[in-house]
Amino acid sequence: MNEMTNKWIGRRTIRPDGAEKVTGRAAFAADTTMPGMIWGKLLRSPHPHAHIRAINTAKAEALTGVKAVVTARDIVDFPVDKSVMLGIQDMRWMCRNVMAREKALFHGHPIAAVAATTAEIAAEACKLIEVDYEVLPWAIEIDDALKPDAPILHDFIRFEGKPSNIAGKLEHKLGDIAEGFAKADVIVERTFTTRPVHQGYIEPQACLVSVTADGKATIWSSSQGHFMVRAMTSMLTGLPQSSIRAIPAEIGGGFGGKTIIYLEPVATMLAKKSGRPVKMVMTREEVMRATGPTSASKSTVKIGATKDGRIVAAQGAFYLQAGALPGSPIRGSAGCAFAPYNIPNVLSQGFDVVCNRSKVTAYRAPGAPIGAYPVECVLDEIAEKLGIDPLDLRLKNIAKEGTKAAHGPVYPRIGFAETVAAARAHPHYQAPLGPHQGRGVASGFWFNAGGESSAQVNITEDGNVVVTTGHPDIGGSRASIANITAELLGIDYRRVSVLIGDTASIGFSNLTGGSRALFASSMVVTQSIEKVIATLRERAAQIWQIDPEAVTWAEGAAHPAGKNAGNFPPLTLAEIAAKASATGGPIGAGVQLNTTGAEGGFATHICDVEVDLELGIVRVVRFTAFQDAGRAIHPSYVEGQMQGGVAQGIGWALNEEYIYNAKGQVDNPSFLDYRMPVCSDLPMIDTVIVEVPNPKHPQGVRGVGEASIVPPLAAISNAVHNALGKRFYALPISPPKVLAALKTTA
Amino acid sequence: MSDMRYVVPRTLDEAVGAFAEAKGAARILAGGTDLLVQMRAGAVRPGLVIDIKKIAELTGIEETADGGFRIGGAVAGARLAEHPRFGKVWPGLLEAINLIGSTQVQGRASAGGNLCNGSPAADSVPAMVAAGAVATLQGPKGRREMPVEDVPAGPGRTNLQPGEILVGFILPPRPLGSGDAYLRMIPRTEMDIAVVGCGVNLTLKDGVCTAARVGLGAVAPTVLRVDAAAKALIGSRLDAAALDAAAAACRAACHPIDDKRGTIAYRTEVAGVLLKRAAGIAADRAKGA
């Protein structure tokens, strides 16, 4: 399947959803309306930490125009002593996140919701809800949450036997680090911090929910998985999954942030109570205050190497902010940090720290950039101390087929060394630097994922193809599926229509997350098409009255083969489709699988920065990303994923951060002051797609959406060091920090 | 839930009448790029919105016989950019006005609104101050003029009297050998608010600075006119010592706050850097003129 004779796989075809999007006609979640629709609004906590003694909604309910009020009492309670998992989410925490139960745990935590005939009345009614709070001291930063006298968020959480804000610990161990460090000629140990950063999707969360009198709910919303929307809404409202139909809207960005829900169960209960369709749309401010960014972190990494550059031991302790409820991505940090290297002795620990800020949500390779950043910076120092080129140091210690990783697996064929070699050989790596410029490199790993996927492939009566899958298309998966379908059936890609089915029209398909969507859906689509082709061969055999085994499928048509070769003119897809009813009925097939074999993705980045020495501004002037895609089904969208990850990494490294005021409130809840990079902040990000096919996938696909955000934090930090001769151990490397550091030198 | 009225007067008298009558419950709408955002955020809830974009005097750009300019208070940045002469005479001021918001925002945003919004970080204001621009105001008691630097009273406040509307700006004629420049520090490259902004306007004769004005933004509750910096430049050949003295004067004039956009130390340091850089650009333009 990976030979270069492919006609459509690897082609930059036009994406099926392109015209609607560039003409502004694509329907996003907030575009849906219904007759009789009313508006839902949330009352949010004004305090970062408080007991909720009582809530009185009588005045709000009495306001003209108010149709329903909902509090935690209307949401299914999952007691804290028993974990109920849905994917990686624990419903104990989800139910407390969508509506505060015993306590308000962050400023902006939902306390109650109102549905009214206008959004203004709903907002007015929220102000009439009386909440009796017992305000508590709060802890926002990791250091504050870990102090001996820190306010404890959850009295049911114990760490080492004592009440604690450390909600969990994870450990990966390989060999014996004490023995390993004893063999080291050089050891570098450093502590690093990163700030929480938001996914920054342009489309705020929004939904419309209608519940009929007999309890059937229809949900229109944008998410990274409408089956997740259905399952979570079911669990939080008590409606069975069969009574909920979740219809995916086009999604205006997710980056992991839309792998959980906020509004849908609330809107469902408001709709059920009021008997009217209820629409809820978050403002940007609500998104910034109450939806999940990824964690802040404090990490200490220690790496030992011999004089010739062999890494003999590595240790990492990664403390991640979970936000108000447990569940920070410590697995991503502790697991991915050392994964690119063949290190005999590793101890990698992650600590999940709760604090009074919004619950973190997945963000592109959750936890992995936080893990890789300190490791890749320490490697840079080791390379410097040993006088070894940093890419050569990586090649000396590179993980490859057969390497045992600390997080568990023994790698099959992977394409990491190829990315480093491609970077080493690229002209960028040797290009001369200008004044006040510096160059840095770093690598990164992401697990990738498979999981449940369903597809249905139908041949239309006029001989074209409709493919339905169940993963929302965030990064061009429909375009890629069209390429694969066209390739396998031997027809023009424009004859293939690819749709995302809702929860009632296609089987269970897991979230678009973990870089799984194309990996998993192309597996079930491929198997479905194989079944369709078998049917097409049977129908042709029937028409020709020969044995189906004597029919081959090529170039979009059935051909007689073997002793019948040449006896009949080929039958095209359209000709067979036209005779489908006469030969046994409609032609189509569906396949559902729990897919496996998504092998890890690796990336290596080269970054050049230029520093304005008087203003402290760091600008990225050149960036080249090398990544193993396995097989690039649609190169434009592989490149888009690589560039997107880099762009977000640049923001994380240089400017983005949540700023809190003295009252424990986010002080910059807008795109104006939460400084994500804009187009003019970025150079054209060059991409080099490395293709080492995944042997466990029919097309050789490896996920590409996430590995790209893993290296930039360190690549940029290392480049700043190369430019200034100073190392920064805290992100973002913002102008005031740079200027202060330069002044200390002078 | 309260009602809001919207009026579009065709004459200044009508506008002033409506504004005065509303007694503080009204807001003036020029481009609306601040007002509408504030209304959406619930920060202001005016009972009356007076749209001044249909008043001829507020939307004109006029080059006066003496070589000066009159700019209507509601003229959008994009209109100024399209004017054949304005950007040649006042390149720094035009750059400053065109830094307000994005390309789309430029289609609406006006220098008049930028001044009346009262932000200490307003981009056009330090350049206006450096240019020596004078604001024309009209209110129930008639018309008066006020130097631009006297208009801001503090964050979100101006010294306009109740019922007074900013009619426009008067820019003085340019002596030969003049140039201006505006620079701001933002962490990004676009779509941001000045952490520090600095406008410099100067005149050179035989390489010697004969006149200079300096405006500094985002380093105090109001945009500042820094006469000490101007004094350091006047009489010099803009040599390193003069620029250092002017930069030091800018730093001394700063009394900023620590906030989400910048620190006291950083803002103070950067004010001097921007003065030097802006003076350099203004001098190059003066020599080219």
- Dihedral through CA A501, CA A506, CA A508, CA A514, nearest 10? -30
Q: By CB neighbour count within 10 A (0-12 exposed, 13-18 middle, 19+ buried), where does A273 fall? A: middle
Which of A615, A659, A678 minimises the CB distance to B189?
A678
Q: What is the pLDDT of residue B2?
A: 64
Which chain A residue has the Cα nearest residue B267? Answer: A736
CB A438 within 8 A of CB A716: no
Report how far apart, in Å, the C-alpha atoms of A49 and of each of A93, A132, A199 are. Answer: 16, 13, 24
CA–CA dist A319, A142 (Å, integer): 8
pLDDT band at B24 (very low <50, low <70, confident <90, very high): confident
Report DSSP state, residue A74.
G
| Contacts with B262 from chain A: Cβ below 8 Å | 736
Residues comprising chain B, all counted: 289
Q: Which residue has the tokens 């990996």?
A: A519
Residue A671's pLDDT is what?
93
Identify whether the C-beta of residue B268 lies closer than 8 Å to the C-beta of residue B190: no
| pLDDT tens per residue across span B138-181 | 999 999 999 999 999 999 999 999 999 999 999 999 999 999 99
Closest CA to A703 of A603, A623, A606: A603
Closest CA to A338 of A394, A386, A293: A394
Q: What pLDDT is recorded for position A352?
A: 98
Q: Which pair of structure tokens corresponds to residue A79?
A: 């007691």
What would the pLDDT profile of A437-492 be if each residue is shown by its tens digit? 999 999 999 999 999 999 999 999 999 999 999 999 999 999 999 999 999 999 99
Write the CB contacts of B140 (distance below 8 Å, at least 6 apart in sequence): B16, B17, B20, B163, B164
Tokens (6 digits) for A108: 């902006």
Contact A736 B262 (CB under 8 A): yes
Query: Do the Cβ atoms of A617 and B187 come within 8 Å?
Result: yes
Domains of chain A, CATH where assigned: 18-25+450-595 (3.30.365.10), 32-136+203-252+258-290 (3.90.1170.50), 297-448+599-745 (3.30.365.10)
pLDDT of residue A60: 98
Torsion angle of C-alpha atoms A586, A552, A595, A252, degrees rounded to 10 = -60
DSSP symbol at A73:
G
Q: Is A39 exposed, middle or buried (0-12, 13-18, 19+ CB in 10 A)?
A: buried
- CB–CB of B150/B160 below 8 Å? no
Phi/psi at A97 (5° precision): -80, -40
Rounded distance between C-alpha atoms, residue B256 and residue B121, angstroms: 11
Q: Yes or no: say if A471 and A520 are a contact pair by the CB < 8 Å rule.
A: yes
Q: Which residues contact A182 (CB under 8 A, 6 or more apart)?
A: none
Over residues A231-288, the pLDDT tens digits come to: 999 999 999 999 999 999 999 999 999 999 999 999 999 999 999 999 999 999 999 9
> B185, A735: Cβ pair inside 8 Å?
yes
Q: Which of B210, B170, B181, B206 has the alpha carbon at shortest distance from B67?
A: B170
Give, rounded to a whole angstrom, the gap between the first and last alpha carbons of chain B. 56
What is the chain A residue with the closest CA to B101? Answer: A672
Q: What gap in Å lies between CA A486 and CA A9, rounded to an integer?
A: 8
Q: Residue B41 has what pLDDT? A: 85
Cα–Cα distance list, A490 to A556, A564, A579, B13 (Å): 4, 22, 19, 74
Place of tokens 């057969």: A402
Separation between Cα atoms, residue A311 and residue A307, nearest integer Å: 9
Residue B24 Rama label (left phi>0; alpha psi -120 to 50; beta): left
Q: What is the pLDDT of residues B219-240, one digit of tens each?
A: 999 999 999 999 999 999 999 9
CA A605 to CA B47: how far, in whole Å?
56
> B192 contacts in A (CB within 8 Å)?
672, 675
Averaged over successive runs of 10 residues, the pLDDT of chain A (746 residues) comes to 76 94 95 97 98 98 98 98 96 98 97 97 98 98 97 96 97 98 98 98 98 97 97 98 98 97 98 98 97 97 98 98 98 98 98 98 98 98 98 98 96 97 98 98 97 98 98 95 98 98 98 96 98 98 95 97 92 98 98 96 98 98 98 98 98 96 96 94 98 96 97 98 97 96 81
Residue with tokens 């007074």: B164
pLDDT the model gives residue A465: 98
Which one, of B133, B90, B280, lies nearest residue B204 by Cα? B280
CA B129 – CA B250 distance, rounded (Å): 14
Mean pLDDT of chain B: 96
pLDDT of residue A744: 84
Å from A114 to nearest chain B CA?
16
- Amino acid of residue A105: L
Please name each of the domains of chain B with its CATH number.
5-119+134-171 (3.30.465.10), 178-288 (3.30.390.50)
Distance CA A250, CA A24 (A): 12
Alpha helices in A561-708 (DSSP H): 573-578, 635-654
Chain B environment of A617 (Cβ under 8 Å): 185, 187
Q: With an 8 Å Cβ cutoff, are B263 and A736 in contact?
A: yes
Number of A to B CB contacts under 8 A, please give it: 55
Give the burial class of A729: count Cβ atoms within 10 A of its Cβ; 0-12 exposed, 13-18 middle, 19 or more buried: middle
User: What local confidence, expressed as pLDDT, does residue A1 receive?
Assistant: 41
CB contact under 8 A, B190 and A680: yes
Sort out which chain B residues have CB atoms less than 8 A from A735's CB and list them. Answer: 185, 187, 195, 266
Q: Given this model, what pLDDT does residue A2 score?
A: 46
